[in-house]
Amino acid sequence: MPTYYPINETAARRAKEMNSYFNYEPGSATAAYRQEVDKAAAIAEAQKARVDPMYHEKIDRLLDTYARKLAENINQGYAIDARCPSILTAGSSNFPVRKKEKQNRASDANMAEWKHIQGLLDKIRGTGMGGISSDDSGALPKLREKLAHREREQENMKSVNAFYRKHGTLDGCPSLTPEEAEQLKASMARSRRAAPKPYESYLLRNNNQTIRSIKARIAELEAKQSFPAPEGWSFDGGRVVMNQEENRVQILFDGKPDADIRSELKHAGFRWAPSQGAWQRMLNHDGIYAAKTITGKWMMPAEQAEIATEQVLDEEPCSEEPAPFSYPQQSM
């Protein structure tokens, strides 16, 4: 059973009176909201039936977020609709045109947020069907399991190749089932290489690269858990927030930034989130650094110096072993 959040029936009735000649049916707004949540719950249950139980908690969390944000959006929509009457109910004489235009702009923004909220349904449908997201609370154990699988694969490929080099055949290879051996033989027979191998070198290189990438992601997530994100900071014209719940670093401006700044934000990987009222990207080292770089021009001189120091450090040659992940320290 999903969690239902309260719908403002008073605001719903007022919005109806301002825009229609028909009477408001008590409870109809709440009933309509719950119907939408029930549809989302059905999608969630269907997805749970398709995926491993390890993903069920994330699906439940997404469903709850959908129900909460939808209620907030609906209530905000009723509040907006109640600000100014429809011209059909108020008449054209002395109609507050500018007030209506302002109301229409607010309605457009509310609709954009509604579309963003509906995107949560796609997230529910996609949970457990693709890669492992850093937003997933169970990302670390899933990545460790994936790493172990890839490492077993690597050792198996090397073992099979070694057996073939020694014996010149795959018959009797302890690392393969008879079916797997026959499949590899057929693959080698189709190969155009002069001396085909059971597993060509590029397969081992690609798998090894995947292993390194998974290890790097594990190290980053482990470091993130060991070293909590720093405090946000203010700048002239807004502030930066570390939103742990959404796993996003967010830049909130006091007003709408101009086109050049918006372009800079997009170039740095930030995207506008109407539901959050913020420009945001993933909460990690790169996201925090990008936020500091963008807002640095509006910071105090000491903070600008800190950014310059980090840029110098980033330009230094890296050793073969990656440096331990850590969040940049703030001196606010």
Instruction: Indicate the angle between helix axes 56-81 and 28-50, nearest 10 degrees.
Output: 160
225-267 pLDDT tens trace: 666 667 789 998 999 999 877 778 999 999 999 999 999 999 9
User: What pLDDT score does 314 carry?
Assistant: 46
If pLDDT is split at 50, 70 and 90, which confidence band does 127 have?
A: confident
130 pLDDT exceeds 60? no
- Write down the pLDDT at residue 31: 95
Strand 271-273 versus strand 238-243 pairing type: unpaired
Structure confidence at residue 51 (pLDDT): 79
Tell me the C-alpha distance between 45 and 55, whole Å: 12
Q: Is the pLDDT confidence value at 112 over 90?
A: no
pLDDT of residue 315: 45
Kindly tell me the burial class for residue 160, based on how many C-beta atoms sit within 10 Å of its own C-beta (0-12, 13-18, 19 or more): buried
The pLDDT, as a whole number, for residue 32 is: 94
User: Pick the residue with more confidence: 53 or 309?
Assistant: 53
Which of 201-215, 241-255, 305-319 shows the lowest mean pLDDT across its residues? 305-319
What is the pLDDT at residue 205?
93
Q: What is the pLDDT of residue 245?
A: 74
How confident is the model over 94-105, as pLDDT tens digits? Answer: 667 777 788 888
Rounded Cα distance, 142 and 50, in Å? 17
Distance of alpha carbon 163 from alpha carbon 197, whole angstroms? 11
Nearest partner of 218 among 130, 275, 145, judged by Cα: 145
185 vs 164: CA distance, rounded Å = 11
Quick: pLDDT tens for 11-60: 999 888 887 778 889 999 999 999 999 999 999 999 988 877 767 888 99
Q: Which residues contact 305 (CB under 8 A, 6 or more apart)?
A: none
d(CA 41, CA 99) in angstroms, rounded, equals: 38
pLDDT given at position 298? 83
Q: Give the per-residue pLDDT at 7.
A: 95
Helices (H), the chain: 9-19, 28-50, 56-81, 87-90, 97-126, 139-167, 178-190, 201-226, 259-267, 285-295, 301-315
Are β-strands 238-243 and 233-235 bridged in parallel, bridged antiparallel, or unpaired?
antiparallel
Strands laid side by side in the 238-243 sheet: 233-235, 238-243, 248-253, 278-282, 271-273
The overall average pLDDT reported for the chain is 83
- DSSP type of residue 54: G
Query: What number is the average pLDDT over the span 183-188?
Result: 91
Give this prediction's pTM.
Answer: 0.45
